[in-house]
Amino acid sequence: MTGKIEARLAELGITLPAAPAPAANYVPFVQSGQQLFVSGQISNSAEGLIKGKLGADMDVEEGALAARFCGLALIAQARAALGDLDRVKRVVKLVGFVNSTAEFIDQPKVVNGCSDLMVEVFGEAGRHARSAVSAASLPLGVAVEIEAIFEIE
């Protein structure tokens, strides 16, 4: 039987990617009590890494799409950790890092790409606290990296 969240993903036409393997000396997620901490997921699509700098060679819409891909990877990591996305009680917090110029001020609009996805998938339980900050550069030159904390059952 398919769970509620898996059914919602299918209804939205969303196929999750495989949970990405860590690129260095860390684990992709850690469960501590009723919280699941998911390591930062970088902007990566089926076509490869989404690289760029907001305010230089990427616009807000491209950045928001990159952030959405980060969100898909976060959900994929949660599924890998929990086995069943229905165990997610709430998206507690997202921390988004946006590779951007010093003049770029729309980091929140970029990270909305991930925030909107969480609400689409988890409904009211997807509403979360959040930080959206600028970074002078990100690993591998990607446009966005986002980490998450989930409350779980």
CATH of the domain at 120: 3.30.1330.40
Counting the structural domains of the chain, the total is 1
Distance CA 87, CA 80 (A): 12
pLDDT for position 50: 98
Which residue range forms the structural domain that includes residue 69? 36-147
pLDDT over 80 (residue 2): no
Please report whether residue 87 resides in a domain: yes
Please report whether residue 29 resides in a domain: no
Please report whether residue 100 resides in a domain: yes
pLDDT for position 4: 97
pLDDT over 60 (residue 1): no
Residue ranges in 41-97 assigned as alpha helix (H) = 60-82
Residue 44, both tokens: 């990566």
Distance CA 127, CA 79 (A): 18
Distance CA 43, CA 96 (A): 11
Residue 21, both tokens: 């393997």
Are the C-beta atoms of residues 6 and 122 closer than 8 Å to each other? Answer: no
DSSP class of 13: T
- Report pLDDT digits (tens) over 44-81: 999 999 999 999 999 999 999 999 999 999 999 999 99
Please report whether residue 11 resides in a domain: no
Please report whether residue 31 resides in a domain: no
Please report whether residue 104 resides in a domain: yes
Please report whether residue 15 resides in a domain: no
When the pLDDT of each residue in the chain is averaged and rounded to a whole number, the result is: 97
**Could you tell me where the beta strands, DSSP code E, fall in 17-143?**
29-32, 35-42, 44-45, 48-49, 88-99, 129-135
Percent of the chain surpassing pLDDT 70: 99
The H or E element spanning position 116 is helix 107-122
pLDDT confidence band for 23 (50 / 70 / 90)? confident
Please report whether residue 19 resides in a domain: no
